[in-house]
Amino acid sequence: MTQHVHDQLAYDRDLTPDERRAVDAHLATCPECRAILAAYRRQDSALAAMPALRPSRALNPRVLPFPRRAVARLGDGLALGGLAALLWLFALQVQSISQAGPAQPRTPAMIEPGIVIPSTSLQLPSPWLAALPWVATALLSVGGLFILTRRSLIPTIIGGVAATLLLISFVPPLSALPNPVGVYWRATGGYAYDPRLPFKNSFLIAGSPENQIRPYLDDLIGQTGLSPLDPNQPLRRYEILRVGLHPDAPRTALITTHFVYADGSSRVYPVPLFDPTVDVFGFWLGGWRADGLQRLRSVHLAFPDQPFAGPQSSIRLGAVRRLNLQSAANRLDEANPSHWLWNSARVNRLVYAPDGRAFLMAVEQKAGQRQLWVVSLNDEPPVAVGPVSDVREYGWSLDGRTIVYTRFDPDASAVDPTHPFAVLAVAAPGTASVSARSAGPVTLVTGLNTDQLPGLTAEGAWFFTNDALWRAPYDGGQPTLILQDVSSGRAPRPSVDSQRVAYTCGNAVCLVDVDSTNPSQVKGNLADEMAWSPDGAQLAVIDRDPNNLSAVRLIVLSRAGEKRWEAPIAPRDVTDPPQWTPDGNAIFIQTFPQEGRRIIAANLATREVLDLSREHWDTYFTLAPDGRTLLLNNGRGDFWEVEVLR
Amino acid sequence: MIAPSVTNFIVRASYSLDILSMTRARLILPPLPVSAAGAPTHLRALFERLFAEYHTPILNYLYRLLGDPALAEDLTQEAFTRAWNARRDLPGLDNPRAWLYRIATNLARDHVRRARLLAWLPLLGKELALIEQGPEDVTTESEQMRRALLKLTQDYRVPLVLYTCQELSVAEIAATLGISIDAVKQRLVRARQQLREAYERQ
């Protein structure tokens, strides 16, 4: 009974009348239970005396302040958005990892029938993806802070800072200010943005290159030409896909553009814009001064005495076709700003192998550093020749087994700065190495005063040093003395039979038999380049004014040194060496007048000099060994072949 | 005053990161379309009457359970938001007060459960201890009693506060907690005994 009453005292307010009477009766006789009840009463009093709260105004459902409501929803939304974005990124990452196979070759993507779009051009980083981690993290952080500190100004402040960072990172013109994303891209590279999207980081790029290039691209609509135009299909339309920076030349913007031609074929080419008004890293810039298409837009006019070849000309060019080379070969040197300078630009040189199965070209990796490549005309990847260095001139031995090139030699320059050049030889791909001692390039001679290519015969390379003419075997063995007491001799060109040699002597051309008989000298300006005819009966000499003030002339000499013909071939500037057709009736010369490279052909039979170049070509070329085609490349990717009609 | 701010922030965040609570309105009462029958107006009037009558008791109930005024206010908002979302049940309720207290009690339990789940964090664990122990320099009987009350487990603290502070009947407490009347009585007995012992130990 006592225990039961003890329990009832704990909820004595809810006792029935009968229970109440029973409890009261018990309490009257039980001091222990009275003490318990008193203790419970004290509990009740103490608990009732606990401070009570008055509701704040926020608890009024009708007057809940809007900002607080909005902040609460904003925090939730931001956090959810950030979380979703991060989850999406994570899913993309998982997907890419799951799809990545071991060392799978990348398949070029076809986006329209016709020309293959190089996969490298389509794999530029998406600016959305690049920005997404920043945006997602910012959203999640700010949203989380909103949630965590709903009664504080901290999230507002941090949100404001984050919003400011996002604004100055992605919203022009604010994004021209220094900002973390820009600094990150500057440090790591890979900067690019999609001009079709509303934001970009302007800290790394001046103005809007895409807007500047559009009028120039518009001018090319309906035109034919070489890359990025098509020689046979007029350009129908274009679309700018990306704007980025040249990986090795941050002053150059690359506007990756999709060109679509009349037959539906297409290609992607990174149109360059370079030389900004102040600096690509500048604060706020006015624009860009030059672009990689400028030379294609220049008016194509014939020079005096070098008319364009017409349908009835004795030498003319036929149909152009695109060479089906490996994608990697087609991309060689396609984004080298040096090709697109408005002035005379002899940046590259194509040199056919004697067997016509491959050609040489150099690719500038960075200023003064070039990689020599052998590009096969078959479906084989290009092969790098020797290490990257300051490669100058290059060519093949007559048998095609050896590649010879000149380069600047820092060691030689340290000894004598006036004689800094070296000649190296390396085996052509697929042939045995030139030396049993080394599989790589072998230095034939160093300490020369010219970077011109030495004379190349089957036996070795011919060069002048110490007032004597020498011939070094391609295996790096001891040179053979050919001629003595030849002062100021330079660039020897031995005839095919190696019995007679022509060379530059001062401002004249000197010829002499290798046994020092039958010397001859032809006065001129400056014999820049020379080449013997295939039969060795004639010598083509490029005669150029050293002051570059008068026309460049082609002089054809007999083997004995008699002048047979002379004609202007260019207004000024250097040229490539003359290239003879196998029959010795025509000479092709690459010239480099301003704003458009020319293909000059000299017909010895008709005494004509014709300009075979076409509008929007601006191309380098090399004559095929059989004399029937020219290989073309204008420094904007892709290679073309055109038939020579005579 | 106990100010377990960081813990409560984190716990509130954990509410908000819950997908369901993400979509939960916070006492935002959108205007109800008034139908020809006038039913929504009726519901709104019912709810507003309930709110006017009980928002202060619910606030103080939660404060006494949890000891944090800010948290009590937040949870009161949550409680009435949930009540608003379930307003269509109002006309059929036998005891709306018990219903409201049940919502508030469940919120308080959820809060404590989440706080305990987060207590492995060093800082939060320390703050959770503060919730349950309170500061040492307590002098008044009321404050000592409050400290003693916070040392009770939820099962005993809740019915005792409902009975002594909120003046709910045993039957209402049973309805609130979803347990039998006898179970309520049993818990009240043990709660009072434990409270007395806890008070005397101080």
Please indicate whether, in this complex, the C-beta atoms of A48 and B164 are within 8 angstroms of each other. yes
Give the residue with greater pLDDT, A333 vs A517.
A517
DSSP letters spanning B17-82: HSHHHHT--SS--PPPPPPTT-HHHHHHHHHHHHHHHHHHHHHHHHHHHH--HHHHHHHHHHHHHH
- pLDDT of A561: 93
Q: Give the pLDDT band (50/70/90) at residue B68.
A: confident
- Separation of alpha carbons A536 and B8, rounded Å: 97
CATH of A298-645, one of 3.30.499.10, 3.40.50.300, 1.10.3720.10, 2.130.10.10: 2.130.10.10
Give the residue with greater pLDDT, A123 vs A625.
A625
* Residue A124: pLDDT over 70: no
pLDDT (average), residues A570-584: 92
pTM to 2 decimal places: 0.62
Counting Cα atoms < 13 Å in the Cβ hemisphere of A399 gives 11
Kindly provide the b/e burial profile for residues A578-617, where b requires at least 16 CB atoms within 10 angstroms of the residue's own CB. bbbbeebbbbbbbbbbebbbbbbbbbbeeebbbbbbbbbb
Give the residue with greater pLDDT, A410 vs A368.
A410
DSSP letters spanning A144-174: HHHHHTTTSSHHHHHHHHHHHHHHHHHSTTG
Neighbours of A524 (CB within 10 A): 21
Q: Is A62 on the interface with B (CB under 8 A)?
A: yes
* Residue A11: pLDDT over 80: yes
The average confidence (pLDDT) of chain B is 72
The average confidence (pLDDT) of chain A is 82
- Helix-helix angle B141-150:B122-133, to 10 degrees: 130
Please indicate whether, in this complex, the C-beta atoms of A61 and B27 are within 8 angstroms of each other. yes
* Residue A58: pLDDT over 80: no
* Residue B10: pLDDT over 50: no
Are A285 and A206 spatial neighbours (Cβ–Cβ below 8 Å)? Answer: yes
Please indicate whether, in this complex, the C-beta atoms of A59 and B77 are within 8 angstroms of each other. yes
- Cα distances from A575 to residues A354, A548, B192, in angstroms, run 21, 12, 108
Q: Give the pLDDT band (50/70/90) at residue A581.
A: very high
- Lowest-pLDDT range, A82-91, A118-127, A387-396, B178-187? A118-127
Please indicate whether, in this complex, the C-beta atoms of B48 and A80 are within 8 angstroms of each other. no
Q: Give the pLDDT band (50/70/90) at residue A293.
A: confident
Q: Which residue of A has its CA nearest to B62?
A: A53
Counting Cα atoms < 13 Å in the Cβ hemisphere of A362 gives 28
- Give B149 to chain A, closest Cα distance, Å: 9
- Give the model confidence (pLDDT) of A491-514 as tens digits: 999 999 999 999 999 889 999 999
pLDDT (average), residues A225-248: 88
Q: Is A100 on the interface with B (CB under 8 A)?
A: no
User: At CA A426, angle to CA A420 and CA A431, rounded to 5?
Assistant: 170
Q: Best of A53, A63, A141 to disrupt the B interface by mutation (most B CBs within 10 Å)?
A: A53
DSSP letters spanning A569-620: EESSS-BPPPEE-TTSSEEEEEE--TTS-EEEEEETTTTEEEE---TTT--E
Q: Residue B144, class by beta-carbon neighbours within 10 Å (0-12 exposed, 13-18 middle, 19+ buried)?
A: middle
Q: Give the pLDDT band (50/70/90) at residue B22.
A: very low
Please indicate whether, in this complex, the C-beta atoms of A47 and B165 are within 8 angstroms of each other. yes
- Give A89 to chain B, closest Cα distance, Å: 19
Instruction: Give the architecture-level CATH label for domain B1-20+40-134.
Output: Orthogonal Bundle (1.10)
* pLDDT cut 90: percent of chain A above it: 40
* Residue B31: pLDDT over 60: no
CA A207 to chain CA centroid, Å, is 20
- pLDDT of A545: 87
Q: Which residue of B has its CA nearest to A145?
A: B13
> What are the start and end residues of each CATH 1.10.10.10 domain in chain B?
138-202
- Separation of alpha carbons A541 and A341, rounded Å: 27
Q: Is B101 helix (H, G, I), strand (E, B) or coil?
A: helix
- Lowest-pLDDT range, A18-22, A139-143, A573-577, B100-104? A139-143
* Residue B40: pLDDT over 60: no
- Helix-helix angle B5-17:B96-117, to 10 degrees: 110
- pLDDT of A355: 92
When mean pLDDT is compared over A26-40, A47-61, A194-208, A608-622, the highest value belongs to A608-622
Q: Is A35 on the interface with B (CB under 8 A)?
A: no
- pLDDT of A152: 56
- Lowest-pLDDT range, A383-392, A591-600, B93-102, B142-151? B142-151
Q: Which residue of A has its CA nearest to B6?
A: A148
Q: Give the pLDDT band (50/70/90) at residue A107.
A: very low
- pLDDT of A468: 93
Q: Which residue of B has its CA nearest to A76?
A: B22
Q: Give the pLDDT band (50/70/90) at residue B121.
A: very low
pLDDT (average), residues A13-39: 87
Give the residue with greater pLDDT, A162 vs A15.
A15
Read off φ and ψ for residue A278, nearest 5 degrees: -110, -70
Please indicate whether, in this complex, the C-beta atoms of A58 and B28 are within 8 angstroms of each other. no
Q: Give the pLDDT band (50/70/90) at residue A375.
A: very high
pLDDT (average), residues A386-408: 93
Are A266 and A260 spatial neighbours (Cβ–Cβ below 8 Å)? Answer: yes
Please indicate whether, in this complex, the C-beta atoms of B146 and A59 are within 8 angstroms of each other. no
- pLDDT of B122: 40
* Residue A522: pLDDT over 70: yes
- pLDDT of A163: 73
* Residue A343: pLDDT over 90: no
Q: Which residue of B has its CA nearest to A13?
A: B169
Q: Residue A222, class by beta-carbon neighbours within 10 Å (0-12 exposed, 13-18 middle, 19+ buried)?
A: exposed
pLDDT (average), residues A551-555: 94
- pLDDT of A184: 82
- pLDDT of B130: 41
- Separation of alpha carbons A170 and A528, rounded Å: 53
Enumerate the residues of chain A whose CB falls inside 8 A of the CB of residue B142. Answer: 46-47, 49-51
Q: Is A43 on the interface with B (CB under 8 A)?
A: yes
Please indicate whether, in this complex, the C-beta atoms of A46 and B144 are within 8 angstroms of each other. yes
* Residue A466: pLDDT over 60: yes
Which is it for strands A563-570 and A579-580: parallel, antiparallel or unpaired?
A: unpaired
pLDDT (average), residues A407-432: 90
- Give the model confidence (pLDDT) of A146-169 as tens digits: 666 655 566 667 767 777 777 788
Read off φ and ψ for residue A417, nearest 5 degrees: -60, -20
- pLDDT of A170: 78
- pLDDT of A438: 64
* Residue A62: pLDDT over 90: no
Q: Residue B64, class by beta-carbon neighbours within 10 Å (0-12 exposed, 13-18 middle, 19+ buried)?
A: buried
Task: Say which of A43, A55, A150 has its CB closest to residue B55.
Answer: A55
Q: Is B154 helix (H, G, I), strand (E, B) or coil?
A: helix
| Radius of gyration of the CA atoms of chain B, in A | 18
> What are the start and end residues of each CATH 2.130.10.10 domain in chain A?
298-645
- pLDDT of A126: 56
Q: Give the pLDDT band (50/70/90) at residue B13.
A: very low
- Separation of alpha carbons A405 and A445, rounded Å: 11
- pLDDT of A368: 82
Nearest CA to A457 out of A446, A447, A471, A469 is that of A471
Please indicate whether, in this complex, the C-beta atoms of A50 and B69 are within 8 angstroms of each other. no
* Residue A617: pLDDT over 60: yes
* Residue B33: pLDDT over 80: no
- Lowest-pLDDT range, A51-55, A258-262, A316-320? A51-55
Which is it for strands A316-322 and A640-645: parallel, antiparallel or unpaired?
A: antiparallel
Are A500 and A511 spatial neighbours (Cβ–Cβ below 8 Å)? Answer: yes
* pLDDT cut 70: percent of chain A above it: 82
In B109-165 the beta strands, taken as DSSP E runs, fall at none
Please indicate whether, in this complex, the C-beta atoms of A61 and B142 are within 8 angstroms of each other. no
* Residue A378: pLDDT over 80: yes
- pLDDT of A292: 79
Q: Is A46 on the interface with B (CB under 8 A)?
A: yes
* pLDDT cut 90: percent of chain B above it: 11
* Residue B125: pLDDT over 90: no
Give the residue with greater pLDDT, A425 vs B13.
A425
Q: Which residue of B has its CA nearest to A61?
A: B27
- pLDDT of B8: 47
Please indicate whether, in this complex, the C-beta atoms of B64 and A150 are within 8 angstroms of each other. no
Are B9 and B141 spatial neighbours (Cβ–Cβ below 8 Å)? Answer: no
Residues across chain A? 646
pLDDT (average), residues A60-69: 45
Please indicate whether, in this complex, the C-beta atoms of A59 and B22 are within 8 angstroms of each other. no
- Separation of alpha carbons A391 and A406, rounded Å: 6
Give the residue with greater pLDDT, B50 vs A124.
B50
Identify the bridge partners of residue A306 per DSSP, sorted by sequence position.
A303
Task: Say which of A46, A56, A151 has its CB closest to residue B142.
Answer: A46
Please indicate whether, in this complex, the C-beta atoms of A56 and B55 are within 8 angstroms of each other. no
Are A430 and A400 spatial neighbours (Cβ–Cβ below 8 Å)? Answer: no
* Residue A329: pLDDT over 70: yes
Q: Is A69 on the interface with B (CB under 8 A)?
A: yes
Q: Best of B12, B14, B19, B22 to disrupt the A interface by mutation (most A CBs within 10 Å)?
A: B22
> What are the start and end residues of each CATH 1.10.1740 domain in chain B?
1-20+40-134
Fold of B138-202: Arc Repressor Mutant, subunit A (1.10.10)
